[in-house]
Amino acid sequence: MPIQNYILTLLGAYLLGSIPTGFLAAKAKGIDIRSVGSGNIGATNAMRVLGKPIGIAVLLLDAAKGYLAVWLCAVIASHANIVPADASVLKILAGIGAVLGHNYTCWLRFKGGKGIATTAGVYVALAPWPLLIALGVFIILLALTRYVSVGSIAAAVTLPVAVWLMTPQDVFLGTVTTALGGMAIYKHQANIRRLLAGTENRLGRKVVAK
């Protein structure tokens, strides 16, 4: 398959993933979300700053970016009569592009979110059963600790393990999932420092924008 197909897939998915939904939602309220709360543009900070309804909307939109990137890639590959093995690779590349777009959006000087929701959207399309296991771990850890970051980090560890165990034949998917999990943990560096210092915010703590 021509290399430009891979490049166009990555670029198109990146641009879709790069839409900074949390930033735009806050901007509509006259708030620069990067200067409030944790400074992150993701759903957790949006929920603290803008309230639960808007935070949930940002969460769903961020997940939708990941799902749509993979789904659109699958539709295009089907219409282009691309063989299943190549289509599978393209879909995984679309997932990578969407997460990179969210985490390093070109519209905000390549500073974005942590990619948890967008990764979840990607894996709804790529590997729903491993995602379900990771989601279960996330929910349990969140319920026990009330820290979104703890649940997210645990899910970032669980998802690659579940993918390797449930789809051991797909080495590319397993490798990519491991890399995305590592990137998610890397993006939580500040949260890990706050957890160790005992200053991490628990779920439900409201941040008032000035």
pLDDT, one tens digit per residue, over 113-150 is 999 999 999 999 999 999 999 999 999 999 999 999 99
Does a structural domain hold residue 87?
yes
CB contact at 8 A, 62 and 44: no
Give the pLDDT score at 205. 66
Q: State the pLDDT at residue 1.
A: 80
pLDDT at 203: 85
Q: What is the per-residue pLDDT for 207? A: 61
Q: How many domains does the chain have?
A: 1
Q: Residue 40: its pLDDT value, please? A: 94
Q: How many CA atoms lie within 13 A of 92 on its CB side?
A: 18
Share above pLDDT 90 across residues of the chain, in percent, rounded to a whole number? 93
Looking at every residue in the chain, the average pLDDT score rounds to 95
Asked whether residue 109 carries a pLDDT value surpassing 90, the answer given is yes
Report if residue 203 sits inside a domain.
Answer: no
The answer to whether the CB of 73 falls within 8 A of the CB of 15 is: no
The per-residue pLDDT for 119 is 98
Domain that holds residue 9: 3-197
Residue 205 falls within a domain, yes or no? no
Asked whether residue 206 is assigned to any structural domain, the reply reads no
* The pLDDT of residue 82: 94
161 is a domain residue: yes
Mean pLDDT of 60-78: 97
Q: How far is CA 149 from CA 116, 141, 195, in A?
A: 10, 9, 9
Whether 184 maps to a domain, the answer reads yes
What per-residue confidence (pLDDT) applies to 2?
87
Q: Is residue 30 part of a domain?
A: yes
pLDDT bin (cut points 50, 70, 90) of residue 71 is very high
Q: Is residue 132 part of a domain?
A: yes
The structure's pTM equals 0.95
Expressed in percent and rounded to 5, the helix, strand and coil fractions of the chain are 75, 0, 25
∠ CA(35), CA(38), CA(44), 5° rounding? 115
Instruction: For residue 111, name the pLDDT band (cuts at 50, 70, 90).
Output: very high
Average pLDDT over residues 189-204: 92
